[in-house]
């Protein structure tokens, strides 16, 4: 890519970069402050009660070892909430260990001689703590805070996964679209931010150190000192400034602070087709109604979207009939598309107060897919054809497919297939993996544009194992009642996208790396809906 093009790419996204950086700083800053207000008192308490030390540090240590993604998902389930709150709690938990441990270590390391002097000249216990022990431990405590904050910047990139924003949002989106530029747009600023945070807290620590007589008044050092002190504060101020002065002219459709329900919160899962459908619904609602759309795209997998919809954290997303049937309702497969839709519509209404609207038209079923060259060589046409050689084949599946009943477990039973090796992949990486012969079989999505571009061949589901996966908007009934216009508007999208069209749209975004909004707008105009 040429340099000026790259420059243009960044400039174009500068306002959003500014906002995401602000969110990132807020997440890190608030969680670090929270961890300080817990960790430092805990450290002080532990320095005075020896018997508590083992158990408390043990618990904090164990919390630390929980993988960050698992922690986020666990909190999500526990709080029944997506967004900033679970992210903040997770980040706080991770920041606790370095802060509490350093506080304890710092307090312990103060020499016994000095403490005896403090007692001997007549300091009360709290005076010994406040005037001697804590000031002498300060640099070690601040070092702990520094570690916590820098690690926090890294972990905060994962909070985008549960809709908390931050620079991780670029990374997530980049992963979903297999777009390296987008990934770097999140990753590089996050790394720089970690350096800036590290430097500023380091400077704060330097400012804390006693000023020697050697640093004469008026010298550069003595002038720098108060500045160094202010650096972390300045960073938090910049963060909140970016956060609260969100440039509305860029994100005209995303209005966080409007509480009056003139906003429709629209989510998507984390792959290209979902982003396209989401953008399509959003553009249409914005064009044809006076409602605003808050785009909470790339929220994560099926369960996160569905959970958020039930909890009222979001109002609407596009779901697939087969997924609703098997993964969410855990009902047996219904092969007839019409019947399947009628069934999910009925049960969703009864059980969740959710409404299925008219499907878009295409069927994005899973397709067991191999390299076209292999298919020809071994004359594979149907999934049954794989049976003989399955033991020698390596499969690459999405994490969801590997576990869902309408995924590998069911497939194994129906076709008596046992692959030699199964590896989990991000949906966006699966196609490349099979094309580059990392694996031999993948669970492609039938409408994915990359099937054609990577010269792959979907095998026929000869035993009709996969249920139909017709995508349709699923919306909360209370929202639909409040704004019936949404239903009418989304009806316009009913049946207008067939399999080939969806493949083409996916291809435009995935392979040609075009902007989703642009591709969607062109399509809607061509169909004369916009």
CA–CA distance, 168 with 278 (Å, rounded to integer):
20
- Cβ 90 to another protein, closest distance in Å? 36
Q: Give yes or no for residue 116 binding another protein (CB under 8 A).
A: yes
DSSP-based helix, strand, coil % in the chain, nearest 5: 65, 10, 25
Candidate ranges 115-123, 153-161, 334-342, 414-422; the one touching another protein (CB under 8 A): 115-123
What does DSSP assign to residue 385?
A: G
Options 37, 48, 67, 124; binder of another protein; rule CB under 8 A = 124
| 127 contributes a contact to another protein by CB under 8 A | yes
User: Scanning the structure block, which residue is given the tokens 């009864």?
Assistant: 350
Comparing CB distances to another protein, the nearer of 51 and 126 is 126
CB 100, min distance to another protein, A: 22
Q: Indicate whether 484 belongs to the interface with another protein (CB under 8 A).
A: no
Largest Cα separation within the chain, whole Å, is: 92
Closer of 70 and 114 to another protein (Cβ): 114
> Rounded to an integer, what distance in angstroms lies between the CA atom of residue 14 and that of residue 185?
10
Cα 424 versus chain centre, distance: 18
Q: Is residue 243 within 8 Å of 33, Cβ to Cβ? A: no
Q: Least distance in Å: CB of 222 to another protein?
A: 12
Residue 377 parent element (H or E): helix 372-377
Least Cβ distance, residue 216 to another protein (angstroms): 11
130 binds another protein (CB under 8 A): no
CB 108 to another protein: min, Å:
16
Distance CA 171, CA 181 (A): 9
Q: Write out the binding residues for another protein, residues 176-215 only, by CB under 8 A.
A: 210, 212-213
Quick one: 2 or 213, whose CB is closer to another protein?
213
Distance in Å, CB of 146 to another protein, minimum: 20
109 vs 338, which CB is nearer to another protein? 109
Among 10, 38, 89, 123, binds another protein (CB under 8 A): 123
Count Cα neighbours of 71 within 13 Å in the Cβ-side half-sphere: 21
135 in contact with another protein (CB under 8 A): yes
DSSP of 23-82, one letter per residue?
Answer: HHHHHHHHHHHHHHHHHHHHHHHHHH-HHHHHHHHHHHHHHHHS-HHHHHHHHHHHHT--
Pick 32 or 103: Cβ nearer another protein: 103
Instruction: Tell me how far, at minimum, the Cβ of 219 lies from another protein, in Å.
Output: 14
Q: Does 119 bind another protein (CB under 8 A)?
A: yes
User: CA distances (Å), 201 to each of 29, 52, 205, 352, in order?
Assistant: 12, 30, 6, 48
- In the complex, the smallest distance separating the C-beta of residue 215 from another protein, rounded to whole angstroms, is 11
Which parts of 255-389 are beta strand (E)? Answer: 263-267, 292-296, 316-320, 354-356, 366-371
- Asked if 504 contacts 451 with a C-beta cutoff of 8 angstroms, the reply is no
Give the C-alpha separation, 430 to 227, whole Å: 50
Choose, by CB under 8 A, the member of 1, 4, 50, 122 that binds another protein. Answer: 122
Stretch that binds another protein, among 108-116, 414-422, 478-486, 522-530 (CB under 8 A): 108-116
Shortest CB 27 distance to another protein, Å: 34
Q: In terms of CB distance, is 48 or 252 closer to another protein?
A: 48
Residue with tokens 């459709």: 253
Nearest distance from C-beta of residue 123 to another protein, angstroms: 6
Based on CB atoms, which residue is closest to another protein, 44 or 325? 44
b/e 273-283 (16+ beta carbons within 10 angstroms → b)? bbbbbbbbbbb
Window contacting another protein (CB under 8 A); options: 119-127, 153-161, 358-366, 426-434: 119-127
Hunting for tokens 């805990």 — which residue is that?
42
> Residue from 63, 132, 263, 511 that binds another protein (CB under 8 A)?
132
- Which residue's structure tokens are 């194994």? 412
Q: How far is the CB of 136 from another protein (least distance, A)?
A: 6
CA–CA separation, 65 and 72 (whole Å): 13
Binding-residue pattern over the window 210 to 249 for another protein, x denoting contact by CB under 8 A: x-xx------------------------------------
Closer CB to another protein, 116 or 491, in the complex: 116
Which one, of 325, 366, 381, lies nearest residue 448 by Cα?
Answer: 366
Binding segment for another protein among 51-59, 124-132, 242-250, 380-388 (CB under 8 A)? 124-132
Which residues form the interface with another protein (CB under 8 A)?
113-114, 116-124, 127, 131-132, 135-136, 210, 212-213
């Amino acid at each position: 890519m040429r340099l000026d093009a790259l420059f243009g790419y960044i400039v174009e996204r500068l306002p959003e970069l500014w906002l995401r950086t602000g969110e990132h700083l807020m997440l890190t800053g608030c969680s670090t402050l929270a961890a300080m207000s817990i960790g430092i008192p805990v450290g002080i308490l532990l320095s005075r009660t020896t018997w508590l030390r083992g158990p408390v540090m043990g618990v904090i240590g164990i919390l630390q070892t929980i993988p960050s993604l698992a922690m986020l998902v666990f909190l999500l389930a526990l709080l029944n909430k997506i967004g900033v709150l679970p992210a903040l709690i997770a980040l706080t938990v991770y920041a606790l260990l370095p802060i509490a441990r350093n506080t304890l270590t710092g307090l312990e390391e103060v020499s016994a001689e000095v403490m005896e002097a403090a007692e001997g000249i007549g300091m009360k216990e709290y005076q010994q703590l406040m005037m001697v022990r804590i000031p002498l431990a300060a640099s070690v405590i601040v070092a702990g805070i520094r570690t916590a904050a820098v690690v926090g910047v890294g972990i905060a990139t994962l909070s985008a996964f549960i809709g908390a924003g931050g620079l991780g949002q670029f990374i997530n989106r980049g992963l979903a679209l297999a777009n390296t530029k987008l990934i770097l747009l999140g990753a590089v600023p996050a790394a720089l931010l970690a350096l800036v945070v590290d430097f500023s807290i380091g400077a704060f620590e330097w400012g804390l150190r006693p000023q020697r007589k050697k640093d004469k008044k008026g010298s550069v050092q003595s002038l720098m000192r108060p500045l160094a002190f202010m650096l972390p504060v300045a960073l938090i101020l910049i963060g909140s400034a970016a956060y609260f002065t969100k440039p509305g002219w860029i994100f005209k459709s995303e209005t966080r602070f409007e509480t009056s329900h003139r906003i429709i919160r629209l989510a998507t899962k984390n792959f290209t087709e979902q982003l396209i459908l989401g953008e399509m619904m959003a553009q249409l609602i914005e064009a044809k109604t006076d409602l605003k759309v808050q785009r909470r795209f790339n929220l994560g997998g099926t369960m996160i979207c569905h959970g958020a919809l039930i909890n009222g954290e979001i109002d609407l997303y596009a779901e697939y009939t087969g997924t609703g049937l098997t993964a969410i309702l855990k009902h047996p497969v219904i092969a007839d598309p019409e019947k399947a839709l009628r069934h999910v519509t009925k049960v969703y209404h009864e059980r969740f107060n959710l409404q299925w609207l008219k499907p878009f038209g295409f069927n994005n079923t899973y397709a067991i897919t191999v390299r076209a060259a292999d298919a020809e060589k071994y004359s594979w046409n149907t999934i049954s054809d794989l049976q003989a050689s399955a033991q020698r084949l390596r499969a690459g599946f999405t994490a969801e497919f590997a576990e869902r009943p309408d995924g590998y477990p069911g497939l194994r039973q129906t076709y008596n297939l046992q692959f030699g090796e199964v590896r989990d992949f991000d949906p966006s990486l699966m196609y490349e993996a099979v094309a580059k012969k990392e694996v031999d079989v993948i669970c492609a999505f039938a409408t994915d544009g990359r099937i054609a571009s990577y010269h792959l061949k979907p095998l026929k589901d000869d035993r009709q194992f996969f249920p139909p996966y017709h995508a349709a908007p699923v919306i909360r009934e209370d929202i639909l009642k409040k704004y019936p216009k949404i239903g009418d508007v989304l009806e316009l999208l009913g049946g207008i996208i067939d399999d080939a069209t969806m493949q083409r749209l996916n291809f435009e975004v995935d392979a040609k790396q075009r902007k989703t909004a642009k591709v969607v707008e062109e399509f809607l105009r061509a169909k004369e809906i916009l």
